Amino acid sequence: MRGVKGLLWPVFLVARKDLLVEFRSREVVIGSAVFAVTLVVIFNFALNITPETVDILAPGVLWAAFSFAGVLAMSRAFVTEKDQGSLEGLLLTPVSRDSIYFGKMLALFIFMTAVEAALLPVFAVLFDFSAFSPTLVGAVLLATLGFAAVGTLFSAVAVNTRSREIMLPILFFPVVSPVIIGAVEATTGAIGAGVSAAGPGRWLQLMAVFDAVFLVLCPWLFSLIMEE
Amino acid sequence: MSPAPGTPAIEATGLHKSFGVAPVLRGLDLRVEWGRVLVVFGANGSGKTTLLRLLAAQYRPDRGRVVVGGIDRSRDPSSIRRMIGVVAHQPMLYQDLTCRENLTFFGRMRGLNDLPRRVDEALRRVGLEARRHRRARALSHGMQKRLALGVATLHDPPVLLLDEPASGLDQEALAGLRGMFSSASGGRRAVVMVTHNLERGLEWADEVAVLSGGVIAYKAEREGLDEGRFEEAYRGGLR
């Protein structure tokens, strides 16, 4: 019991600290939200989305916007800490690296979910679909968890490289492509007419398995990376 | 946490550390007893900061052994981090948190009891009581160094590791920093400081060492310092 508390309490502290810092600086959430809206507006005009094509195009547009906005958010997860030197201070505390990883991941998950929750109704109005479908909400939560799990790790890797802005998307997108594909397919199933419920369910399962694997793998790799 | 009786504060044996193909430390041996202040001098790039990071269990040595307060780094790095306080060249603070919030966050991460009292005491010790609700980014560099000093000593660590701690500090803060060394003379604490400032380093040291060529090239009591050998070792690092 003491072990679980010893792991969870620092997770809560790190996440709460990140949320407080974000509340004051508003660097991540506003930047990501503006970027996602801009992407959707550009896609809307570039692809000439009509009521006939919305079922086919909207899921792709939605997840392209969420994915790129997510990368923007995760790129800040360690950059500010590194630039301020506070990452070194954090690593000098006697808490386990797992706790630091899960704290940073939880904060990133909350930032990304907040941006998506704010934007989903906007997209729903723009593309005329229901934002409150359980399948769609499930897809958003599972995909965001996968993004946050992998993104926290690669953000920590990229921050120590010279070309960190380029390195993060190069590392991130190939690994999370199963999640993006799963999210697009599940969203198509959720908003598309005449698609059976069994289709999106399989994609949700795929994302759940991906999340479970990477929630075990990423903290372990994070611990190795953080001890040079 | 109090010093383990009968063991040196710090014992490093055969430390090797490389970054890529460039070796920084090549079999360094170092021993610091409780109650002593060791000041390590060395040219730029000689590995002083790397040495401190190895002692702080922040880096893993490629080879060799680090034991702090009787705890082997390879077995229990977390316990070593619990025993040490580190003041680095750059203040390790959250710029968007206030002085009080920075101290409280790091205190909670260390699981300290009686935290509000400790935080108030730390703020008073570093002269930031009046600025307790000011964000770190609104402080001057010197004030940030004071706050960093408060964070590093919040848990009253038995081992202090200081990397150019005096840079940016005014006379009052320097006196406060010097006061923290006094517990070393009582045998309760050990201090390792790396610096370029020869005058201050010699004034504060019980022992001096020169890091050159990846090893401790010279080590002596301050009182019995052989200036010729000290200079020779230091210049060896400049070549």
Tell me the CATH number at B27.
3.40.50.300
CB contact under 8 A, B97 and A89: no
Would you say B176 and B143 are in contact if contact means Cβ atoms under 8 Å apart?
no
| Residue B3, domain member (yes or no) | no
Structure tokens at A55: 């079922």
Among A178-182, B1-5, B171-175, B202-206, the range with the most confident prediction by mean pLDDT is: A178-182
CB contact under 8 A, B84 and A13: no
Asked if residue B73 is part of any domain, the answer here is: yes
CB contact residues (below 8 A), chain A span 92-111, against chain B: 92-96
pLDDT tens per residue across span B39-88:
999 988 889 999 999 999 999 999 999 999 999 999 999 999 999 999 98
Say how many domains are in chain B. 1
Asked whether residue B75 is assigned to any structural domain, the reply reads yes
Position B1 in a domain: no
Q: Does B91 touch chain A (CB under 8 A)?
A: yes
Residues of A in Cβ contact (< 8 Å) with B111? 94
> Any CB–CB contact under 8 A between B115 and chain A?
no
Q: Give yes or no for residue A104 having a pLDDT over 90.
A: yes
Which range marks the domain in which residue B153 is found?
A: 10-238
- Cα A227 to Cα B9: distance, rounded to the nearest angstrom: 23
pLDDT (tens digit per residue) in A33-75: 999 989 888 888 888 888 888 888 888 999 999 999 999 989 8
Q: Give every CB contact of residue A101 below 8 A, 6+ residues apart in sequence.
A: A152, A153, A156, A218, A219, A222, A223
Instruction: Answer yes or no: is B5 within a domain.
Output: no
What percentage of chain B carries pLDDT values higher than 70? 95
Judge whether A20 is closer than 8 Å to chain B, CB to CB. Answer: yes
B232: closest CA of chain A, how far (Å): 32
Q: Do A24 and B108 touch (CB under 8 A)?
A: no
Q: What is the pLDDT of residue B4?
A: 60
Among A170, A198, A182, A188, smallest CA distance to A141 is for A182
**Considering the domain boundaries, does residue B2 fall inside one?**
no
CA distance B93 to B129: 17
For the stretch B192-233, pLDDT in tens is: 999 888 888 888 899 999 998 889 999 999 888 888 888 888
Q: How many CA atoms lie within 13 A of B58 on its CB side?
A: 19
